[in-house]
């Protein structure tokens, strides 16, 4: 990731997505955006703002409420040479589109023996906070990782958001592009020009040697905070952002684990059959027979997301609990170490409705 | 029935409709006022302007009749007799809420009053309502189910799947579309090739009708008639598209700024009813509602937040 | 155009329709004969009896027009000009098959002929066809898309979602429902509250018509007219419900035993056409088809199975 | 599992399912069956045969093709006190019902604070062989395991099929009941009376002490064969059938692994974020810090299912490859040991169309 320089400036994650979309739409006529409310003045949290004014309603298509058809329409158009970007305001709505995504889009290239290509991006946003509750806060990355034929990417920084979206749009496969509502307002240095962040390459966001912490999507932000807490107790955590979940860069993770001997995986999602289970299993398969590694997964509590804040706060792993888990893992037992309290301003300051 | 009797029945009904509508309007306006204090940490979708539909329809239902609705559910919940304290506490995220603080504004429920739930995912309660009606039918229970949903919901595939099933099985149910012409900021004409929803429903072979008035009494009469047809003649299902108007933003407490003027044809139901009700009656209603609302807010404020271990409760029955 | 010219054009067309239909019938009957030998390890859904729909419709299309179909796709594939060798080899699971042996009978494809694919999950290609048509529209390409599907598919939600979108965006496409009245063993009347599918489609605001004859020429004329309306006047979409009859089991080679007599009104299209074609012409067709089919079977039999490492190819583009 | 006795007799897996359904429908009026083709003479491979004659069309409801609505109709009816059993001829079709299953049914009890119950069973059948291909052979158990509020059960023997279906119908939650087409014809001793096979209890189908093999759904059959192959080389494999995937009986698996020190998990499904990843992770979390364990997962190759038999045979783990993997795991390296060839008659003898 670049340091600030003449060609970069600080913009938000949402702006980075907007910019990647705009630049590619200018460059390539076949790129278009479709989804419920994409031309709405609020522009899906700013990520699609002004695109319809610039490119017209044929290329920024406000759709009827029809997620399954929207997905089929996108894949059909992609077979005709277009490059659709479908947008879902909530990832939960993708459950209405599983048939078209998994039975059709993911399989078309293979099932037709390579005769057709289905380049399409499906953007979706994981919700959180302010009583989003059961049906507006799901994080279903593992469903898509499970299925061959799909690629899955979940960038956490504005830099990676722009570059990964560019790579996704240019990719010739169906790509599930996962955002998190609590990341949209984050700012970071982003180059003005087009660039790609490649699939299958993890990023070490913080180097360290005592414990490896892998954080997915918004959990990454909490992991960085946890790493700072651990540092106050002289524990040096290496924090890795996989960015791309399918394909997944096992090698970078394994190299880190071989160095630290300890692995804490924190997903922004449920752990059962989740991304964290996959990463843990891959590490076992790769490092077994070598040195002993301590491992732990964290994620959403295995319950439905409640709306009331007092329970919601317990539902998500926060930096405090992550730091504590890391510490205890390292010590090999439950300790009474208490981490510094780290603030999570993006959550505390977020106010409804959405 | 004598003419006078009929007239006095109608007066009573109008009074009740007025009271129900005034009460709901007042409660929701109060919610809008409280909202900026951040005590309600839940996305609220207000029905202000469009209460006539649920108020009118529910006036024709018995307590054992069942309704399903959407995230825009305060009005339905209250019109069907849902407990106000439980609703307020739920909005405040308290343990005394109807869902123990786990559901919030979008998932109101009161099974004792036949309010079987509301969903934040558009159109999802439509087939559930049909399933409930199917149960009524095979269990030979003399009640009906009413499914409430917006104009946007009629674009979802499951709407069509359910209409076909309900008509095929002649289910004891009524579909009520609250057509406020908008899905968030998107007008019906941007989303539907034929904006006449009642016409689209009619091809499934059921009685289907558009009601233009946004008037609770008209809606009451239609739903009452349909309910009788179902109970007495075994007919069903029925479909009503009720034209109405939402005054506030899609979600949140603010007035709309996305449309300059509201449709001229659609009148404010509260103002209309107000003309038909005596001022004595109104004064009483004002007082009653004021008191009830104060108590409910007090109840919500005073109630405790859920205990931490309740996070793990009710995942499985 | 002079009357004679028109007549000779019609004769030519009838001849072509006959040839196409005879060819498809013969190929599928041959597949049914081969099937018990287990060389085709793939579930085959034969169109025998209902070929008129795809034969008639495809006769009105250009090569650059695009079709999407279902698992019951041999007839569509062949009518639209798909390569017979590639199809046969695909059924045999060979590397020379149109999908390299990975798709089988249910997933035929030939992008050079505008055959964009067929799906084993009912109704899934309907929105894809609309997406393709949307691309034609924005890319201003003067071609159309035809979506073929069965009567059962019209019960799925996505059918409704797609009709709404196609009509809303006035897409250059034609919906063709091959109504054989059955989904597996279940009659339309057990599944649909209103079995008039064309009527159900018409409420989306598109030209929609039921064609009763099971006759390729009639279907050709309708589709040809609709295609011209789309290309010349920018109209669209169009909907045709074509009544037809499947003679074989839902899946597999056997004759049906689930219905005693086939609908009296529906005639066998091959017998009908046969009366309109000279016996010289027929003799030629018999020979040609016989030869072509022998060669295709030979091709399929002689071709190699896919190499083992092809298992891992084409997962990603 | 009982030995043959006066109250048991040998029936097939499909008959066991039919019998459980019939007995509970006789006992409890609220139990009913719905789905596409459930009253069809072929009776969903015999599993619903004759039920419609016995109980009438109101309780054996042939449905329109409308998977999402069917699921909502089922959950709605269950809120009214009925106990629906939804049947999908192919598990792949459940992708059309994910919204109602996951956004609604799984969450209702929690999201309404316990006010409603949603007792419903969703039966589905994993397809295989004879060119089922991409869209008729998926095994999506991990999707359902991932989601709190759902129970998931995948019995492999006729005895467990009957008992687990009884338990599922009596359960007050949405239960995903997973069958496999290649198990339907298997026969086994099944009691005539009603009995329950409880959730969350694994079954040791074959005791052993050198290696633990966990097999899921039809993979279990191949694991038993593999265990026999290994036995010819004096390797004693303990074969465990989890039966219930959510809740999952980790304890039985861990106890076995502590004894054998080697774990091979074979799923009838993809491994990435799959049931096998979950089991591996749970075992790590439970036994770590103790003795070293060698572990390996197997499942479908990470590609779309091809139709041609030559590729299909490579796509699925078979007893030979399972035995070999077990052997090599035990030896800690790749060996040139070759297992006995074990037949898979249920696959070789299966002929289309379905
Ligand atoms: C399946 C689904 N898609 C999209 C959304 C996002 N969304 C929430 S409300 C809404 C508009 C619904 O409009 P309508 O049905 O007319 O109901 P109204 O809000 O007008 O009462 C949309 C698109 C959703 N909640 N669920
Ligand atoms: C979504 C889905 N549900 C169920 C099935 C099982 N199934 C395969 S074909 C079929 C019948 C479809 O009938 P129709 O659409 O009329 O086509 P036809 O077979 O008559 O050509 C069914 C129910 C399926 N393949 N896909
Ligand atoms: Mg609306
Ligand atoms: Mg049919």
Let me know how many helices (H) and strands (E) chain D has, helices first. 13, 14
Residue A353 lies in a domain: no
Q: Which of D109, D136, D180, D218 is catalytic?
A: D136
Phi, psi at residue C85, to the nearest 5°?
-55, -45
pLDDT at A345: 87
Distance in Å, CA D305 to ligand 4 centroid: 26
Contact state of B138 with D103 under an 8 Å Cβ cutoff: no
Where in the sequence is the domain holding A166, given as residue range(s)?
8-191
Shared domain for D162 and D225, answered yes or no, is no
The shortest C-alpha distance from C190 to chain D (Å) reads 8
pLDDT(B69) > 70? yes
Torsion over CA: A77, A83, A87, A88 (sign): positive
Q: Which of A88, A136, A180, A218 is catalytic?
A: A136
Does residue A151 sit in helix, strand or coil?
A: strand
Distance in Å, CA B121 to ligand 3 centroid: 14
pLDDT at A305: 98
Q: Provide the pLDDT confidence category of residue B265 given band limits of 50, 70 and 90.
A: low
A275 in contact with D, Cβ within 8 Å? yes
Q: Which of A103, A138, A275 sits opposite D92 (nearest CB)?
A: A103
pLDDT tens digits for range A299-313: 999 999 999 999 999
A71 in contact with C, Cβ within 8 Å? yes
A184 in contact with D, Cβ within 8 Å? no
Contact state of C66 with A80 under an 8 Å Cβ cutoff: yes
User: How far is A275 from A142, CA to CA, in rounded Å?
Assistant: 5
Contact state of B41 with A308 under an 8 Å Cβ cutoff: yes
pLDDT tens digits for range A177-233: 999 999 999 999 999 999 999 999 999 999 999 999 999 999 999 999 999 999 999
CATH of the domain at D161: 3.40.50.970
Give the position, in ligand 1's atom list, of the atom nearest the Cα of B180. 20
Distance in Å, CA C45 to ligand 4 centroid: 11
Shared domain for D178 and D211, answered yes or no, is no
A146 in contact with C, Cβ within 8 Å? no
pLDDT(B1) > 80? no
Nearest to D98 by CA among B153, A145, A98: A98
Residue D139 lies in a domain: yes
Shared domain for A183 and A331, answered yes or no, is no
Residue B209 C-beta-side C-alpha neighbours within 13 Å: 14
Contact state of B131 with D78 under an 8 Å Cβ cutoff: yes
Q: Whose CA is nearest to atom 23 of ligand 2?
A: C183
Sketch out chain C's domains with CATH numbers: 2-305 (3.40.50.970)
pLDDT at C207: 98
pLDDT tens digits for range B212-243: 989 999 999 999 999 999 999 999 999 999 99
pLDDT at D85: 98
A33 in contact with C, Cβ within 8 Å? no
| Number of domains, chain A | 2
Shared domain for A187 and A141, answered yes or no, is yes
Is there a catalytic annotation at residue D109? Answer: no
pLDDT(A29) > 80? yes
ipTM here: 0.98
Q: Provide the pLDDT confidence category of residue D260 given band limits of 50, 70 and 90.
A: very high
Q: Provide the pLDDT confidence category of residue A343 given band limits of 50, 70 and 90.
A: confident
With contacts defined as CB-CB under 8 Å, which chain C residues touch B193?
Answer: 163-168, 204-206
pLDDT at B148: 98
What the block records as the tokens of D202 is 């694994």
Q: What is the DSSP letter of B110?
A: B
Distance in Å, CA D68 to ligand 4 centroid: 20
Does residue A130 sit in helix, strand or coil?
A: coil
Residue D3 lies in a domain: no
pLDDT(C1) > 70? no
Is there a catalytic annotation at residue A67? Answer: yes
C292 in contact with B, Cβ within 8 Å? no
Contact state of C311 with D301 under an 8 Å Cβ cutoff: yes
Shared domain for A187 and A207, answered yes or no, is no
pLDDT tens digits for range D4-18: 677 999 999 999 999
Contact state of D148 with B317 under an 8 Å Cβ cutoff: no
Ligand lying closest to the C-alpha of residue C155: 2
Residue D197 lies in a domain: no
Pocket-forming residues, ligand 2, beta carbon under 6 Å: C 72, 120-122, 150-153, 180, 182-184, 250; D 36, 65, 67, 89, 93, 96
Touching D: which chains, 3+ CB pairs < 8 A? A, B, C
Residues 195 through 234 of chain C touching chain B, CB cutoff 8 Å: 199-200, 202-206
Phi, psi at residue A46, to the nearest 5°?
90, -10
CATH of the domain at A238: 3.40.50.920
pLDDT tens digits for range A139-191: 999 999 999 999 999 999 999 999 999 999 999 999 999 999 999 999 999 99
Shared domain for D223 and D344, answered yes or no, is yes
Shared domain for D34 and D168, answered yes or no, is yes
Shared domain for D272 and D324, answered yes or no, is yes
Distance in Å, CA B250 to ligand 3 centroid: 9
Q: What is the mean pLDDT of residues C299-312?
A: 98
- Residue ending a domain, choose from D191, D224, D248: D191
Give how far Cα A282 sits from Cα of A276, B93, D281, Å: 10, 41, 10
Helix (H) or strand (E) holding A345: helix A345-348
Q: What is the mean pLDDT of residues C219-236?
A: 98
Average pLDDT, chain A: 95
Q: Are D213 and D226 in contact (CB under 8 A)?
A: yes
Q: What is the mean pLDDT of residues B180-189?
A: 96
Q: Which of C156, C159, C167 sits opposite B193 (nearest CB)?
A: C167
* Of A347-351, C115-119, C312-316, the least confident: A347-351
Shared domain for D131 and D182, answered yes or no, is yes
Percent pLDDT > 90 in chain B is: 93
Pocket-forming residues, ligand 1, beta carbon under 6 Å: A 36, 65, 67, 89, 93, 96; B 72, 120-122, 150-153, 180, 182-184, 250
pLDDT tens digits for range C71-129: 999 999 999 999 999 999 999 999 999 999 999 999 999 999 999 999 999 999 999 99
Shared domain for D175 and D226, answered yes or no, is no
pLDDT at A335: 94
Residue D77 lies in a domain: yes
pTM for this model (two decimals): 0.98
- Residue ending a domain, choose from A191, A215, A233: A191
Helix (H) or strand (E) holding C211: strand C207-211
Q: Are D83 and D52 in contact (CB under 8 A)?
A: no
The shortest C-alpha distance from B3 to chain D (Å) reads 40
D135 in contact with C, Cβ within 8 Å? yes
- Residue ending a domain, choose from D160, D191, D222: D191
Nearest to D316 by CA among D264, D276, D268: D268
Q: Which of D41, D314, D353 sits opposite C185 (nearest CB)?
A: D41
Shared domain for A182 and A222, answered yes or no, is no
Neighbour tally for D299: CB within 10 Å: 23
Q: Provide the pLDDT confidence category of residue C264 given band limits of 50, 70 and 90.
A: low
pLDDT at B260: 52
Q: Whose CA is nearest to atom 18 of ligand 1?
A: B150
Mark residue C306 as left, alpha or beta (left: phi above 0; alpha: psi -120 to 50; beta: remaining): beta
Q: What is the mean pLDDT of residues A47-64?
A: 98
For residue B125, give every residue at least 6 positions away whose Cβ sits within 8 Å of its Cβ, in sequence order, or none: B68, B69, B70, B116, B117, B118, B119, B147, B149, D72
Contact state of B157 with C155 under an 8 Å Cβ cutoff: no
Nearest to D148 by CA among A283, A134, C309, B105: A134
Percent pLDDT > 70 in chain D is: 97
With contacts defined as CB-CB under 8 Å, which chain A residues touch D296?
Answer: 285
Distance in Å, CA D52 to ligand 2 centroid: 21
Q: What is the mean pLDDT of residues B123-127?
A: 98
Does residue A112 sit in helix, strand or coil?
A: coil
Residue D1 lies in a domain: no
User: How far is B16 from B277, CA to CA, in rounded Å?
Assistant: 10
Residue A354 lies in a domain: no
Ligand lying closest to the C-alpha of residue D37: 2
Touching B: which chains, 3+ CB pairs < 8 A? A, C, D
Q: Whose CA is nearest to atom 25 of ligand 1?
A: B121
Q: Are B208 and B202 in contact (CB under 8 A)?
A: yes
Give the position, in ligand 2's atom list, of the atom nearest the Cα of C45. 19
Q: What is the mean pLDDT of residues C30-56?
A: 96
pLDDT tens digits for range A9-22: 999 999 999 999 99
Give the position, in ligand 1's atom list, of the atom nearest the Cα of A36. 23
Residue A30 lies in a domain: yes
- Please name the residue ranges forming H helices in C151-261: 157-168, 188-191, 197-202, 216-233
Distance in Å, CA C75 to ligand 4 centroid: 15
Contact state of D351 with C119 under an 8 Å Cβ cutoff: no
Percent pLDDT > 90 in chain C is: 93
Shared domain for D265 and D306, answered yes or no, is yes
């Amino acid at each position: 990731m670049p340091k600030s320089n003449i060609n970069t400036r600080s913009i938000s994650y949402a702006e980075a997505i907007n910019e990647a979309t705009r630049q590619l739409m200018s460059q390539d006529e076949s790129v278009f955006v479709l989804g419920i409310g994409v031309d709405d003045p609020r522009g899906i949290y700013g990520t699609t703002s002004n695109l319809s004014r610039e490119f017209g309603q044929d290329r920024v298509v406000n759709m009827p409420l029809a997620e399954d058809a929207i997905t089929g329409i996108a894949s059909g158009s992609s077979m005709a040479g277009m490059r659709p970007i479908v947008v879902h305001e909530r990832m939960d709505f993708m459950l209405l589109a599983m048939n078209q995504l998994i039975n059709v889009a993911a399989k078309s290239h293979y099932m037709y023996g390579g005769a057709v290509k289905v380049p399409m991006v499906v953007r979706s946003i994981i919700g959180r906070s302010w009583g989003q509750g059961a049906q507006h806060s799901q994080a279903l990355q593992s469903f898509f990782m499970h299925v061959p034929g799909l690629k899955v990417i979940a960038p956490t920084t504005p830099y990676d958001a722009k570059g990964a979206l560019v790579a996704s749009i240019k990719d010739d496969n169906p790509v599930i592009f996962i955002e998190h509502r609590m990341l949209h307002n984050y700012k970071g240095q982003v180059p003005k020009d087009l660039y790609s962040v490649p699939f299958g390459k993890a990023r070490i966001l913080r180097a360290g040697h005592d414990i490896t912490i892998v954080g997915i999507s918004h959990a990454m932000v909490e992991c960085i905070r946890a790493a700072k807490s651990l540092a106050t107790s002289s524990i040096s955590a290496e924090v890795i952002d996989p960015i791309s979940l399918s394909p997944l860069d096992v090698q970078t993770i394994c190299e880190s684990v071989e160095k630290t001997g300890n692995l804490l995986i924190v997903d922004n999602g449920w752990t059962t059959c989740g991304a964290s289970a996959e990463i843990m299993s891959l590490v076992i398969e790769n490092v077994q027979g070598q040195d002993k590694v301590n491992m732990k997964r964290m994620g959403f509590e295995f319950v439905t997301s409640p709306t009331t804040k007092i329970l919601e706060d317990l539902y998500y792993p926060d930096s405090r609990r992550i730091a504590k888990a890391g510490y205890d893992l390292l010590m090999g037992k439950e300790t009474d170490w208490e981490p510094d309290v780290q603030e999570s301003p993006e959550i505390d300051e977020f106010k409804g409705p959405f | 029935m004598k003419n006078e009797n009929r007239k006095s029945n109608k007066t009573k009904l109008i009074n009740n409709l007025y009271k129900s509508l005034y009460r709901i309007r007042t409660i929701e306006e109060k919610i809008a006022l409280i909202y900026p204090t951040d005590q309600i940490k839940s996305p609220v979708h207000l029905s202000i302007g469009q209460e006539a539909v649920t108020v009118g329809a529910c006036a024709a239902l018995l307590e054992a009749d069942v309704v399903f609705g959407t995230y825009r559910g305060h009005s339905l919940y209250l019109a069907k007799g849902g407990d106000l304290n439980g609703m307020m506490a739920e909005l405040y995220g308290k343990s005394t809420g109807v869902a123990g603080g786990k559901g919030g504004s979008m998932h109101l429920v009161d099974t004792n009053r036949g309010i079987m739930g509301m969903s934040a995912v558009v159109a999802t309660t439509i087939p559930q309502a049909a399933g409930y009606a199917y149960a009524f039918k095979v269990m030979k229970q003399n009640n009906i189910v009413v499914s409430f949903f917006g104009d946007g919901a009629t674009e979802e595939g499951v709407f069509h799947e359910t209409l076909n099933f309900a008509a095929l099985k002649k289910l004891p149910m009524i579909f009520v579309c609250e057509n406020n012409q908008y899905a968030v900021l998107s007008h019906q004409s941007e989303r539907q090739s034929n904006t006449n929803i009642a016409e689209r429903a009619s091809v499934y072979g059921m009685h289907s009708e558009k009601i233009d008035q946004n008037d609770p009494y008209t809606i009451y009469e239609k739903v009452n008639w349909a309910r009788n047809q179902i109970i007495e003649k075994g007919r069903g299902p029925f479909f009503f598209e009720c034209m109405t108007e939402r005054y506030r933003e899609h979600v949140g407490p603010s007035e709309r700024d996305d449309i300059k003027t509201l449709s001229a044809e659609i009148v404010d139901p509260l103002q209309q009813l107000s003309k038909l009700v005596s001022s004595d009656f109104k004064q009483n209603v004002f007082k009653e509602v004021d008191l009830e609302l104060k108590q409910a807010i007090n109840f919500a404020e005073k109630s405790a937040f859920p205990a931490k271990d309740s996070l793990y409760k009710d995942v499985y029955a």
